[in-house]
């Protein structure tokens, strides 16, 4: 993948960048710009549990669910991610994602760009043991973190470690697939006499992966903020649109757009 292709792939953002989940949103024409600082400040204030509407908006089966159900799944998936985070750290007596990945025998590589244009842009897990962290996005994020006004909001943050932790959960999930909540919880799509078709819910895996990552890197806010942060390096306008959506899903009012000249 070249830089231009990556740029193009980022145009229809909004799919929840960490995940493989996603339905295509209709193309909204233009988003008013906001400063990164203001957006991050607002988003880091949203408690983890309140992200459920945003997370499920990326779930292909979302139309079948009600809010109380979404909320319950959110809580249970967060608990699952946390539990496995603690469990894995204990089991290996290690705490950083890169140490854990190594101890678990994962092959972690850090290419600059993904090979092909896909929705998974910043990191991905490929079965059985391959994790890729794409460094172009990470480097852009690092640059922003050099600004005191950004680092004072996001704190000490190793973006590549956070991405790695998220992907590591997908490996853990596969390893414990017989018992782990995110794989055991299913919904019945249809039944006909003795026949039925049950499906796992992708959003649950993504919620748990975020909670797992948060547990490992000790993040004081919900990692969904990273969607806006990472996208901003490529498209401040898309990041602003995503921010707007996130705020609305969390029942909050997005801040007023800035004058164009104020936005870097
Ligand atoms: Zn994921």
pLDDT in tens, 50-105: 999 999 998 999 999 999 999 999 999 999 999 999 999 999 999 999 999 999 99
37 Cα–ligand 1 center, Å:
26
85 Cα–ligand 1 center, Å:
15
User: Which range of residues forms the domain containing residue 44?
Assistant: 3-19+30-253
Q: What are the structure tokens assigned to 179, written together?
A: 């018992």
What mean pLDDT is predicted for residues 24-38? 76
Q: Are 33 and 240 in contact (CB under 8 A)?
A: yes
Count: domains in the chain: 1
Residues 6+ apart with CB under 8 A from 89: 95, 100, 216
Q: What are the structure tokens assigned to 123, written together?
A: 């990191």
Strand extents, DSSP E, 47-110: 107-109
66 Cα–ligand 1 center, Å:
23
125 Cα–ligand 1 center, Å:
8
Residue 262 pLDDT exceeds 90:
no
Does 144 reside within a domain? yes
151 Cα–ligand 1 center, Å:
25
State the pLDDT at residue 27. 56
Does 261 reside within a domain? no
Does 73 reside within a domain? yes
Does 263 reside within a domain? no
Q: Which DSSP helix (H) or strand (E) runs through 264?
A: none
């Amino acid at each position: 993948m070249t830089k231009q292709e990556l740029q193009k792939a980022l145009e229809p953002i909004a799919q929840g960048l960490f995940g493989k989940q996603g339905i295509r949103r209709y193309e909204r024409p233009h988003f008013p710009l906001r400063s990164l600082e203001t957006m991050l400040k607002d988003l880091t204030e949203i408690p983890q549990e309140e992200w459920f509407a945003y997370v499920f908006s990326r779930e292909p089966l979302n139309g079948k669910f009600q809010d109380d159900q979404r909320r319950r799944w959110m809580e249970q998936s967060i608990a699952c991610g946390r539990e496995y985070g603690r469990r894995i750290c204990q089991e290996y007596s290690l705490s950083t994602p890169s140490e854990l990945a190594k101890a678990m025998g994962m092959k972690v590589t850090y290419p600059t760009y993904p090979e092909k244009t896909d929705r998974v842009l910043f990191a991905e897990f490929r079965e059985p043991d391959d994790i890729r962290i794409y460094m172009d996005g990470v480097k852009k994020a690092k640059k922003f973190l050099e600004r005191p006004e950004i680092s004072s909001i996001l704190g000490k943050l190793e973006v590549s470690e956070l991405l790695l932790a998220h992907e590591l959960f997908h490996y853990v999930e596969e390893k414990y697939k017989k018992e782990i909540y995110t794989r055991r919880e299913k919904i019945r799509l249809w039944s006909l006499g003795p026949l039925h078709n049950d499906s796992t819910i992708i959003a649950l895996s993504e919620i748990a992966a975020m909670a797992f990552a948060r547990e490992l890197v000790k993040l004081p806010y919900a990692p969904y903020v990273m969607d806006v942060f990472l996208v901003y390096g490529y498209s401040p306008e898309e990041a602003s649109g995503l921010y707007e959506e996130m705020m609305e899903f969390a029942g909050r009012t997005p801040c007023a757009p800035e004058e164009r000249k104020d936005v870097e």
